[in-house]
């Protein structure tokens, strides 16, 4: 069983409709053998007409308008041939009109209402000519009765349509929420991928540089080699901890996993110390009044400096670099410059790292520029707006 806004579709008669049709037919046939209808005699024609006016109700929701026509014509014919009109037959016509108003297309509902309005006087005329028992009060009473049946059916139709509209809007909102969730998930995956790139690229670069230094001095200066290996171990452990934080890895037991907070600008001294241990002499200079900024700005600022130092170690021969941070009233200025000779390979200056820095700055409404610093070296300059109250 299914419904649409303008029609009803059902493959087999419902049990309720079968019961209604059988009860109406049984009551109408019973009245044929009871006074006063019994006085006129009971014939095969009368039985057939009563059955035709009631039994089709079993299919009223499958074929609303055809059932209404069959029931209405049979009821009118029953009166036309001289038999007394009984309430079960009148009820069958009422139910047929109600069903048309509720389930049939709107144009057929109005057509059925017009047919009833036109044919009721004809039914009164047949009844008067044979029974001579029509009262003036019967006319408004019957018109009101059939009008009420049509109005009730049409009201249920409108309720069903409103319910279907609400369901459609609910499904549309649900689909919209699912789309928003998918978009948010994709955005979060992109953020995690960017974070992973920054963490892995910096840490692996530091570890590679330190491993190379350890290899070179292993024979002549074993103490320095051991120090470099220890630093590699510390960097690896710190990197694993940050990766677990990013990926949301939790312990298997019931203990809550300790998730370290995201890095902030206050953590830059540790980052610079890592770079120094890898052989890059980094100087940190801070101007303005240092203060706590919103988390997204702190994290992006840290990652931009981290990626810039990583590029200095990977793509240039620099031995020195400088990190300059200026806290302005409305802007955070970050400048990382090294004194080496930039590599001329095809990937330098155009890799995912530089694109990631630009995306971070753009998401915060800022800008990022990267290029040569004078005749030698390379610099990255980021300008990130500081929101009021941050």
Q: CATH number, domain at 273?
A: 3.30.565.10
- Confidence class for position 390, pLDDT limits 50, 70, 90: very low
- Whether 33 maps to a domain, the answer reads yes
Compute the average pLDDT of residues 74-89.
81
pLDDT greater than 50 at residue 348: no
Lowest mean pLDDT among 101-105, 194-198, 249-253, 354-358: 249-253
Q: What is the pLDDT of residues 265-309, one digit of tens each?
A: 999 998 888 888 777 889 999 998 888 888 888 888 998 998 888
Task: Give the pLDDT band (50/70/90) at residue 311.
Answer: confident
More confident residue, 247 or 311: 311
Q: Is residue 271 part of a domain?
A: yes
209-261 pLDDT, tens digit per residue, is 767 766 676 767 777 777 767 777 676 766 666 666 656 544 444 444 455 67
What domain count does the chain have? Answer: 2
pLDDT band at 72 (very low <50, low <70, confident <90, very high): confident
- Looking at residue 256, its pLDDT comes to 47
- Per-residue confidence (pLDDT) for residue 327, from 0 to 100: 93
151-187 confidence digits (pLDDT tens): 999 899 899 889 888 888 888 888 888 788 777 767 7
Q: Quick one: pLDDT at residue 52?
A: 87
* Cα gap 365→334, rounded to integer Å: 15
**Is residue 169 in some structural domain?**
no
Instruction: Among 134, 164, 193, identify where a domain stops.
Output: 134
- pLDDT tops 60 at residue 87: yes
Residue 64 — very low, low, confident or very high, per pLDDT cuts 50/70/90? very high
Segment 109-127 mean pLDDT: 83
pLDDT at 233: 67
Of 101, 134, 167, the one marking the end of a domain is 134
Any domain includes 385: yes
With a pLDDT cut of 70, the percent of the chain lying above it is 71
- Check residue 38 and report its DSSP letter: G
CA angle 11, 12, 17 (to 5 degrees): 130
Give the confidence band of 108 by pLDDT, cuts at 50, 70, 90. very high
The count of residues in the chain is: 390
Question: How does residue 345 score in pLDDT terms, banded at 50, 70 and 90?
Answer: very low
State the Cα–Cα distance between residues 26 and 342, nearest whole angstrom.
101
The answer to the question of residue 285 being in a domain is yes
Domain range for 342: 265-390
In-domain check, residue 248: no
Is the residue at 86 inside a domain? yes
List Cβ<8 Å contacts ≥24 apart for 347-354.
348/315, 349/315, 349/378, 352/197, 353/197, 353/198, 353/201, 353/307, 353/310, 353/311, 354/307, 354/311
Which of 134, 165, 183 is where one domain is finished?
134
Nearest to 314 by CA among 382, 378, 243, 383: 378
Between 337 and 8, residue with greater pLDDT: 337
For residue 346, is pLDDT > 60?
no
Of the two residues 85 and 346, the one the predictor is more confident about is 85
Tell me what pLDDT residue 164 has. Answer: 86
Secondary structure E strands in the chain: 2-3, 8-9, 281-288, 320-327, 331-338, 367-372, 378-385
- Whether 389 shows a pLDDT value over 50: the answer reads no
For the chain, the C-alpha Rg in angstroms (whole number) is 44
Residue 206 lies in a domain: no
């Amino acid at each position: 069983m299914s419904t649409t806004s303008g029609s009803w579709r059902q493959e087999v008669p419902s049990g309720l409709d079968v019961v209604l049709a059988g009860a109406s037919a049984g009551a109408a046939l019973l009245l044929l053998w009871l006074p006063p209808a019994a006085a006129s005699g009971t014939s095969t024609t009368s039985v057939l007409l009563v059955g035709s006016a009631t039994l089709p109700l079993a299919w009223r929701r499958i074929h609303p308008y055809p059932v209404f026509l069959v029931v209405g014509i049979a009821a009118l014919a029953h009166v036309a041939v001289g038999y007394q009109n009984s309430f079960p037959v009148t009820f069958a016509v009422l139910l047929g009109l109600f069903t048309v108003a509720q389930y049939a297309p709107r144009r057929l509902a109005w057509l059925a209402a017009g047919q009833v309005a036109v044919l009721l006087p004809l039914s009164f005329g047949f009844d008067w000519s044979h029974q001579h028992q029509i009262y003036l009060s019967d006319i408004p009473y019957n018109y009101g009765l059939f009008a009420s049946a049509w109005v009730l059916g049409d009201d249920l139709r409108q309720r069903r349509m409103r319910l279907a509209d609400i369901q459609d809007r609910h499904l549309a909102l649900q689909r919209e929420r699912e789309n928003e969730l998918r978009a948010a998930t994709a955005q979060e995956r992109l953020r995690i991928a960017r974070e992973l790139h920054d963490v892995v690229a910096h840490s692996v670069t530091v570890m590679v540089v330190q491993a190379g230094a350890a290899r070179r001095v292993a024979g002549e200066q074993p103490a320095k080699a051991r120090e470099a290996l220890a630093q590699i171990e510390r960097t690896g452990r710190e990197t694993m901890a940050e990766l677990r934080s990013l990926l949301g890895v939790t312990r298997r037991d019931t203990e809550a996993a300790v998730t370290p907070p995201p890095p902030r600008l206050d953590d830059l001294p540790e980052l610079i110390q890592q770079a120094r241990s890898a052989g890059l002499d980094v100087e940190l200079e801070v101007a303005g009044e240092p203060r706590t900024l919103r988390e997204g700005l702190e994290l992006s600022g840290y990652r931009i400096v981290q990626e810039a130092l990583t590029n200095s170690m990977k793509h240039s021969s620099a031995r020195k670099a400088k990190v300059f941070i200026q806290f302005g009233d409305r802007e955070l200025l970050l400048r990382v410059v090294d004194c080496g000779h930039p590599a001329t390979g095809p990937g330098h200056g155009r890799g995912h790292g530089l694109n990631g820095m630009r995306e971070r700055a753009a998401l915060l409404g800022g800008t990022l520029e990267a290029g040569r610093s004078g005749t030698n070296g390379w610099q990255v300059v980021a300008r990130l707006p500081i929101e009021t109250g941050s």
